[in-house]
Every structure is written in structure tokens, then in C-alpha cells.
Amino acid sequence: MPHDLYRPLELSFEGSAVIPADRTPFTLRARHEASGVERSIPGFWDGGSTYRARFAPDLVGGWAWLTESDDAALSGASGSFDVVSGDDHGPVRVAHRFHFAHADGTPFRPLGATAYNWLHQGEPLFSSTVDTIAEAGLNKFRFMVFPQGGGYIEHVPELMPFEKTDGRWDVSRPVPEFFRRLDRAVEMLGERGIQADVLLYNAYDRGQFGLNELTEDEDAVYLRYVVARLAAYPHVWWSLCNEFDQLERPDERWDRTGALLEQIDPYDHLRSIHNWIELYDNNKPWVTHASIQNGSATTDFGRANLYRDVYRKPVVLDEIKYEGDIPDRWGHLDAEELVHQFWITTVAGCYASHGESFVTETGSLHMVEGGPLRGESPARLAFLRGILEDVDGPGLDPIDKWDDPAYVAGVPRQVYVQYLGRSAPESWEFRLPIGFPGERPEQGDVFDVDVIDTWNMTITPAGRFTLDDVRRNEAFARASEPVSLPAGEALAVRITRVEA
């Protein structure tokens, strides 16, 4: 039976002995017959004398594989299989500098969810959280491999990632049951169409488990192991750490860990690192996109877009404060404010992640353990996702980033989105900014305008406009009347070019 493109194919082997996890037990060499392309996939130990390799082929057609190992029992196995196109669009990559698309070219517009300690929860919380996120329409999920210690943590897991030797975590002895649960977590997300943004290291141990005290070498052993297990899942993203700068480590250690990750991941998944107070240098080559926390970068126009300019990579604001009711200022946004910030993010040409921090019955928060979403923002974010998915092009970019007082984003001469934010004007006069780079609109171009109510989730056609005054930095339809707007804040205008 042929295998689907991009889907992981798992091969299992019996080894003669337990091979320490600090070296790769065997390598699977896969060769695409038509092109001669070769892929090298690290195998991993999965308990007892069982070893596995997971390979996600990226080309259709016949593949042949064989294994190589110092262990004779794991060396010289071989086989072949056929790959055909399936339903999977493949791993998400950076596209057009500031955006994302799957390997097959399908655009991906992230609207993230967050529950850091979800992996370590029991049922039904564990499974129901995935359903909740999928039903909410969020399509990327940040969670940590290592358990969280400290405040709002009501659940201490039984399963831990490693055995202990002489009272110390022994990374050469991973706990297969722990990692099978991690596999399952990633699989569940994939089954529901959610990208798994895996937080590999953990700044929230707070001395409770000591997993933040591994040496750099130990961290590397773990990294090789988790990459060998998970990298074949097409929907995996790697994030080195949430709030990396809470850990007192020199940046150079993160540089090396990031470079190692780039080197060992056969699939070149997206890689980032998320900050607390100090930004990591996201210009480092191993970083594929900037993953940023900032309490104020999205509270007003003209800010988050600056990150795009400096990093020249996609910018995902993975922490912009949460909808909730706790006293901490990071956790008591109302839904209107959070949705407002997502729209500001959108016209800044960036992406953002959601999190919810209402105190639950158990004393925890959704952004810690998952569970039902109670806020009013998710429905509006799903609506925003629909708007983003309607964009015929790589994504929305600020049109005139140098100095557009209206902060319009779009695809030049194709589609434009202007978010009116808190301004609540009575009417909107047709205007397009013109910037660099991209095509300039021309006299006589015709556009349809929709008025979008970002809170009430409505899209209302508002007429057709013809450019009759095109200047150096803006264009107008002077002959047309302004568009009357409904009362209230948080409206947006979408301007789509149509055939004249």
C-alpha cells in the first residue's frame, strides 16, 4: 500500500543491546529512486531492545532505505516503499520573508494557542484540551516537554522524561513511556489540524524538578533524542524555550543549542526562541522566525512592524498578554482588548498567539493546563483567521512601512486591510497607501470595499471604487462618496481589486 507524502512512516527494529541515548543507535538512509535524493534519519531507542526510525518522505515516487549502525543487529536492514500525494500539506516553512506556507505551497496563517503544562495533565483534560483548541479555530499550540513548577501549577506529573542515576537526571536513560505520551500529544494535535509548537527547554522549573539544571551536553543528548522521535511529524515547530532569559545562561549557549537543532533536524522545521525581558538576537541564522513577548508591542499601531524590519523574518508575537481575570497585568485583558491587539498585529504584518488566564475551579489557568475556553476572544480570532485565509497572496504586509498614518496592510494592488481600532469614525474615505516594494496601483483600478466588524464578526459590502487620483504615496477615488460606518469601535475595511 503506498504511503502518503509528508506523513511519518515508522520502522521498528530489534537491537542486540541497549545503546546509550547519547549516541544515535542507527541511521536510516532513504534514497528517492527517481531523483537520487538521499535523506539521513536518526533512529531512537524506544524501550527494551526496540529501536525505531520515523521517516516523512518529501517526494512522491519510490524510495529505498537501509540502516547503518555499529550494532550489527541494527545494521543492514533494508526495504522500499512508494509515496503518493495525500492530504497532508507538509511542514510549515517561511514564505515570502514574513509569512508561512506548507511545503506544498499552501499558505499557513498562525493563530496560536497556549497551555504550557498541558502535556502533564491527566484525562479528560489532556484530550479535551485539543478538542477545545481545534473547535475554537486556533491552529498552533505552544506547550512544554518538561513539566512546569511554581504558581498556578496544581498537578505534579508522575511521568518524567528521564530515569535518575545517583539522584541525578540521567539523560542517557530516557523514559519511553514519557516520550510515547509526547508522541501521542503531537499526533493528537496533528489529527485536529493544529501545529505543535514544542517548547524544548523550560524556564519554569523553579527548582521543583531540576530539569533546568542539565548541563549543555545533557541538553544536547535530550535534544537529539526528542528530534529523532518527533521530527518526522510534519506539523512540528521547535521553540527552544519560553522566556529563555529567565534562565541565567549566556546567549552563546542558546546559540549553540539552536545551531545544533538546525544541524540535526532532517526536516528543517521552524525554529524560534521566546523571550521574557531581553530579546534574543533573532537575526542569528538558526532562527527561522522571531517569537516575541512584549506587553505593549501590539497595544497600538506602528510598533510590531518594526520587529519585521530588523529581523527580516516572520514575527510571531507569542505572548501579548492574556484574556482573563487574575491580578497580574499579563493576565487580565478583556476580550475586546485582546481581539483589538490581534488586529493591530495583523495590520503590522505579524502574527500572534492567544492565551487565557481565568482562574479555573482547580485554581489553575487555561494557559497552564488547558481545559475549556471561557473567554469571548476565541470566536473573534477564528473570524480573523477566516479573513487571513481569504487573502489571495502570501500574507498581509504593511504597504507603506516608512510612514503610513493609516497603517494599512495588504498585497499591493490586490487586497488591502485597514483596521480603524479605537477611532470609531462615522465614515471612511477611500484611500490606498503606496509604498515600497511592490506593484503600484494605477489610475482606473477598481476595488470593492467590505466593512468588517471585528467584534460582531460581520462582513458587509460597501461599494465599488475607481482610482482617479494616484499620487506618489497614496491613491484616492475622489469621485466616490465616503463609506458610512456603523457606530462603534474595532471596525476594519477590506479593499479588494476586481476586474474593471
- Residues in contact with a second copy by CB under 8 A are 277-279, 281-283, 294-297, 299-303, 306-307, 309-312, 321, 329, 401-405, 436-437, 473
Q: CB-side exposure of 279: number of CA atoms within 13 Å?
A: 19
Pick 129 or 305: Cβ nearer a second copy: 305
- Minimum distance from residue 493 beta carbon to a second copy (Å): 20
Whether the CA torsion 65, 8, 57, 238 is positive or negative: it is negative
Pick 70 or 278: Cβ nearer a second copy: 278
- Minimum distance from residue 320 beta carbon to a second copy (Å): 10
Contacts for 382-388: CB closer than 8 Å, 24+ residues apart: 382/111, 382/136, 382/137, 382/138, 383/454, 383/457, 384/111, 384/339, 384/342, 384/343, 384/346, 384/454, 385/109, 385/111, 385/137, 385/139, 387/346, 387/417, 387/452, 387/492, 387/494, 388/109, 388/111, 388/346
- Minimum distance from residue 255 beta carbon to a second copy (Å): 12
Peptide bond into 482 cis (omega under 30): no
Pick 166 or 472: Cβ nearer a second copy: 472
Pick 140 or 340: Cβ nearer a second copy: 340
- Minimum distance from residue 403 beta carbon to a second copy (Å): 3
Pick 19 or 344: Cβ nearer a second copy: 344
- Minimum distance from residue 402 beta carbon to a second copy (Å): 4
Question: By three-state DSSP, how is residue 366 classified?
Answer: helix
- Minimum distance from residue 302 beta carbon to a second copy (Å): 6
Pick 46 or 404: Cβ nearer a second copy: 404
Residue 230's CB is within 10 A of a number of other CB atoms, namely: 26
- Minimum distance from residue 309 beta carbon to a second copy (Å): 5
Pick 253 or 312: Cβ nearer a second copy: 312
Pick 22 or 337: Cβ nearer a second copy: 337
Q: What gap in Å lies between CA 65 and CA 182, rounded to an integer?
A: 26
Closest by Cα among 74, 73, 69, 61 to 31:
61
Residue 363's CB is within 10 A of a number of other CB atoms, namely: 11
Q: What gap in Å lies between CA 470 and CA 467, rounded to an integer?
A: 7
Specify the DSSP element, H or E, that contains 57: none
Q: What gap in Å lies between CA 134 and CA 128, rounded to an integer?
A: 10
Read off φ and ψ for residue 271, nearest 5 degrees. -135, 135
Pick 167 or 285: Cβ nearer a second copy: 285
Pick 85 or 296: Cβ nearer a second copy: 296
Question: By three-state DSSP, how is residue 290 classified?
Answer: strand
- Minimum distance from residue 293 beta carbon to a second copy (Å): 8
- Minimum distance from residue 381 beta carbon to a second copy (Å): 21
Cα 408 from chain centroid (whole Å): 24
Q: What gap in Å lies between CA 330 and CA 327, rounded to an integer?
A: 8
Helices (H), 231-268: 251-264
- Minimum distance from residue 377 beta carbon to a second copy (Å): 18
Pick 85 or 283: Cβ nearer a second copy: 283
Read off φ and ψ for residue 3, nearest 5 degrees. -105, 145
Whole-number CA gyration radius for the chain:
24
- Minimum distance from residue 282 beta carbon to a second copy (Å): 7
Q: What gap in Å lies between CA 448 and CA 495, rounded to an integer?
A: 6
Q: What gap in Å lies between CA 29 and CA 428, rounded to an integer?
A: 60
CA distances in angstroms from 228 to 38, 41, 81, 272, listed in the order given: 17, 8, 21, 18
Residue 27 DSSP one-character state: E
Pick 273 or 297: Cβ nearer a second copy: 297
- Minimum distance from residue 397 beta carbon to a second copy (Å): 13
